[in-house]
Amino acid sequence: MADLDPLFTAAKTAMEKAHAKYSDFPVGAAILTKDGRIFSGANIEVISFPEGWCAETTAISHFVMAGGGEITDICVIAEKKDICTPCGGCRQRLAEFAPAEAKVHLCTMEGIVQTVTMADLLPHGFESDVLAKTN
């Protein structure tokens, strides 16, 4: 297993930059690719709640804009909740880019405390290849 301290630190640092003035619930996420790149994001709220961005969505945006790659690990942290999992929408968004075996690390403020796979989080998610099928 790769040293995940930089991934945890990136998620925690992102969380500290969250714009969560409406929910007061800052969240950070970080994505690690097979080639060692890390992309982080924080939740960004706007007044027309819930039209903001989740931390995972922001991290995915950075990942896509940098050319993507193969996701191996994802780290999620919330200041006010131990073991904060991605919401349902973010589970599907992550599944668009991360393989079923990608590891999702759930954290407290001190570090990673539980690891699951994308398949564990979204066992029956939509698969993009079904849209390419014709009758």
Average pLDDT, the chain: 92
Q: Say if residue 1's pLDDT is above 60.
A: no
For the stretch 52-89, pLDDT in tens is 999 999 999 999 999 999 999 999 999 999 999 999 99
Contact between residue 32 and residue 7 where contact means Cβ atoms under 8 Å apart? yes
pLDDT value of position 124: 80
Which of the residues are catalytic?
56
For the stretch 95-121, pLDDT in tens is 999 999 999 999 999 999 999 999 999
Cα-atom radius of gyration of the chain, to the nearest Å? 14
Cα–Cα dist 64/50, whole Å: 23
pLDDT value of position 15: 98
Provide the residue range defining the domain that includes 103.
5-132
Prediction pTM value? 0.91
Which residues lie below 8 Å from residue 62, measured CB to CB, with a gap of 6+?
Answer: 31, 39, 40, 41
Residue 29: count of CB within 10 angstroms of its CB: 31
pLDDT band per the 50, 70, 90 thresholds, residue 128? low
pLDDT value of position 51: 85
pLDDT band per the 50, 70, 90 thresholds, residue 133? low
For the stretch 48-60, pLDDT in tens is 877 899 999 999 9
Q: How many domains does the chain contain in total?
A: 1
Q: Say if residue 2's pLDDT is above 70.
A: no
Cα–Cα dist 14/22, whole Å: 18
Tokens of 68: 């993507």
Which among 97, 98, 100 has a CA at the least distance from the CA of 124?
100
For the stretch 31-46, pLDDT in tens is 999 999 999 999 999 9
Strands (E), the chain: 27-33, 38-42, 71-78, 103-108, 111-117
CATH number for the domain including 63?
3.40.140.10
